[in-house]
Amino acid sequence: MSARSRAESFCTRYGLAVPVLEAPMAGACPPELAAAVAAAGGMGAAGVVNDTPERIAAWAARFRELAGAAPFQLNLWVPDPPADDDVVLQTAFLDSFGGRAAPAPGPGPAFDDQLAAVLAARPTAVSTIMGLPAPAQVDAVHAAGCAWFATVTTRAEAVAAQRAGADAVVVQGMEAGGHRGTADPADAEAVSVGLLALVPWVADAVTVPVVAAGAIGDGRALAAALTLGASAVQVGTALLRTPEAGIDDGWSARLDGLDPTGTTTTRAYTGRLARGIASDYVRSWTAPGAPAPAPYPHQRRLVARYRAGEPGAVDRVNLWAGQAAGRARTEPAAGVVARLWDEARTLLP
């Protein structure tokens, strides 16, 4: 099947006009952005890892108010195994940035409650990251009439996801901004494969559609991903500077013309490995004498306390950025999606 035919088949199956999915970026996916992507013929999305069931329901309701019956995906993290919550060293290190931590928050929303809310919202696709849901949870997704898109970072993860019932695999290259979706958090640094190597390697091993994610910053990258075996692409950083995303002005400005070498991988924000801008805060965690960040979710909760408390030098937002961040533009999201596809289709046979 040709690259164009694969893309057309995927679009037909999921009600799209263009093979472009919005990356479900937690904290940077307001329904207005998802609706704008949908208006251009793509699939909107939200990352709901931090959201209560009530917020999940409200997001879906607002999306439908703006976009009607347009397709969208909701993304959940498969929970990590319980980890030690001793954060004495990390707390002392964060104290050195100045400011004062707010009181510790209560426990976050439970995964089972989030999943129930996602299924009640009936998205086109439920996507997951950080491993595979339990078989009963996969069955529940399908029983709700939703597709399951599994995020993978290796060929072995892709094969396992297909065996578990995935309807598509989102193949995440190491260039991607935000969190790396490895099933085992301890493997994240070692699992560092570029998208150009990973897409054909996975596409040759599975029969379900492949969605390519990582440094899709223009139509050339989109066309390359489809040519290598993907059926669609997922874009995140390319949409961050759009007015609909509404991210912090300082974060947006730092993406402007950012060289690929200006990003790095870090656990400094959440304890899970992720790619972002190499800020002073991020670099400090690799300086001599710095402790290792606490495991997820303890590092995320600890950093959130310092952000909510008396201001210090801790980055106020997670400055996520993929290696193609310098190509992100301050134009409407619908224009970004349309431009990516217009550029790509002129390059496809």
The tens digit of pLDDT for each residue in 70-102 reads 999 999 999 988 887 789 999 999 999 998 999
Structure tokens belonging to residue 75: 């993304």
- Whether 302 maps to a domain, the answer reads no
The verdict on residue 124 lying in a domain is yes
Q: Is residue 251 part of a domain?
A: no
The whole-number pLDDT of residue 256 equals 97
Task: Please give the model's pTM, rounded to 2 decimal places.
Answer: 0.96
Residue 76 lies in a domain: yes
Confidence of residue 104 (pLDDT cuts 50, 70, 90): confident
What pLDDT digit, counting tens, does each position of 4-24 carry?
Answer: 999 999 999 999 999 999 999
pLDDT of residue 107: 82
Residue 226: domain span? 3-85+107-245+329-345
Number of domains in the chain: 1
Widest pairwise Cα distance in the chain: 58
Is 270 part of a structural domain of the chain? no
The pLDDT value given to residue 212: 98
**pLDDT at position 1, please?**
86
Look up residue 159 and give its DSSP letter.
H
Supply the pLDDT for residue 71. Answer: 98
Would you say residue 260 lies in a domain?
no
128/48 Cα distance (integer angstroms) = 10
Q: What is the CATH number of the domain that holds 12?
A: 3.20.20.70
Is residue 159 situated within a structural domain? yes
* Domain presence at residue 72: yes
Q: Is a pLDDT exceeding 90 seen at residue 349?
A: no
| Single-letter residue type at 172 | Q
pLDDT in tens, 166-201: 999 999 999 999 999 999 999 999 989 999 999 999
22 alpha carbon, distance to own chain's centre: 9
Burial of 92 (0-12, 13-18, 19+ CB in 10 A): exposed
| pLDDT tens profile 192-207 | 999 999 999 999 999 9
Which tens digits make up the pLDDT trace of 281-294? 999 999 999 999 99
Q: Is the dihedral of CA 318, 322, 326, 329 positive or negative?
A: negative
Determine contact, residues 327/116, Cβ cutoff 8 Å. no
* Structure-block tokens of residue 71: 């397709």
**Average pLDDT of the residues of the chain:** 96
* Distance of alpha carbon 47 from alpha carbon 163, whole angstroms: 24
Q: pLDDT value at position 105?
A: 82
